[in-house]
Amino acid sequence: MKILRDLPGDEAGHVRVPRQQPWLVLVVDDEPDVRQLTTLNLRGFEFAGRPLQLIEAGSAEEARRVLHEQPGIALALIDVVMETDDAGLKLVEFIRGELRNVMIRLVIRTGQPGVAPERYVIDNFDIDDYKDKTELTVQKLYTTVRSALKSYRDLQTIEINRAGLHRILDVTPELYSLHREKLEDYFHGLLLQIIGVCNLGRSGMISTIDGLVATMEGSDIRVRSGTGELDDGPGSESRRREIAELCAQTILKGEPPEKLRSSALIIPMQVHGETLGFVYLEAHEKISTADRELIQIMANQCAAALDNFYLHQSLEESYDQAIDTLAEVAEFKDSATGAHIRRIEEYTRRLALELGLDPAVADAYAQASRLHDVGKVGIADSILRKPAPLSRDEYEVMKRHTRIGDTILRRSPAMALARSVARAHHEYWNGCGYPDGLRGEEIPLEARIVAVVDVFDALVSTRPYKGPWDPDKAILQLTQESGTHFDPDVVRALVALYQRGTLNDLIASANDDRPHAG
């Protein structure tokens, strides 16, 4: 299996590294002889293994067009006096002001220093150097161009590093609450950081580099991010998959990467002796030992973050399973109540969203709502399943389910939201509810939401002691109790959902309930 069929090889069969992309240098001068001489003097010039590509412009106006067409220009050598006495200086203002290009290095060259005195130009224009054409010997031109390109490269390195760090910092604080698809941003930021910190670069910027980051979970290899020829563009998927498989073989089986480019670098992401993935790079210039060590440190830091993420995901899954288990206990206690529990979850989610809550918060409220009646496991079946209204004493026993639910859930900090719902969903907006007589916004919002949907679903459902109410009648009942039993804002939100027909499926499901036999 050959990865790089499009690259020519030498006689020994080794893949040759492609030629580096050139540095783009714009020469702006209205004298053709000056432009030609500049080309001759810089013939054969290379910096950091990359040649020059000179682009000529005979006027400031022509230079403007070139700059629009070629955004990757690293250096501009600009004459001052061209179509006007200050055409070059106005071009500088255009580049820095209108184009907002702060990266390109600008060197003023003038044969008439009296028209644009050096100190005035340096003090008033954002340039990087000022040269009198008479003093620009071959050696001084070489020094000027090399210094300017080095400065441009270093600025680009800083910018790439800043962009990568920005993406990592953006996602790291939320790493443990992210969905899995958001990890791609984190890994892309890591890749940019590696490119920037190690002074490698990207196409059209500093140098060229192809690379990817992949994770490994058992036999599942997932490419999380790529750059250069290994980005997620059209046609790259097959090559990305081949490289990922070869890298995995190299890491897991210790096989030499014979089918990869000779410049390929594979850095495993390891934590606690376990390999969670790898960084793959195809650099077009040699990566030093120090850079390799730095990449390994960054990769291991990424592995530690990934390990923490997986641990957090595992804890969340355990929490979900605990919720499911307790909810199943409640369903086992009373099958009619079990169907009610599942509807309450979806009512709560939709109502929370209608109230403007974040989807993640709405999901958390919905999940917690499943345990609102978990305390009923402590209520005798003779009361819980009684096919008639409860007596006063029986009702007092039934009220204990809020405190029983609180007791069941209090030992787990992860159950705090569910515990709040279990205890407070029978509190009244006017303070006449139970068990604590909370009033208004003293009642947690999640409990206020569940209080409304719990009663609504009970009214429109078939129960052992009653038939279903007409939904319009149920809505009217809630509206009449708004401000006394229920939070008015929550009732208004439920009414809005009902009027839009958004609750029809849940209401229909409630009508399918049948009294529990036995």
Residues annotated as catalytic are 376
How many other CB atoms are found less than 10 A from the CB of residue 418? 29
In the block, tokens 């930021």 appear at: 189
448 Cβ neighbours under 8 A, 6+ residues apart: 429, 486, 487, 490
Q: Which of 319, 343, 337 is nearest to 377 (CA)?
A: 337
Q: Which of 160, 267, 284 is nearest to 210 (CA)?
A: 284
Peptide bond connecting 18 to the previous residue in cis, omega within 30 degrees of 0: no
What is the full DSSP assignment across 111-135? S-TTTS-HHHHHHHS--SEEEEGGG
Rounded to whole angstroms, how far apart are CA atoms 227 and 206? Answer: 14
Rounded to whole angstroms, how far apart are CA atoms 302 and 270? Answer: 9
Report the chain's terminal Cα–Cα distance, integer Å. Answer: 68
Q: How far is CA 154 from the centre of its chain?
A: 27
Q: Which of 381, 376, 355, 366 is nearest to 464 (CA)?
A: 381
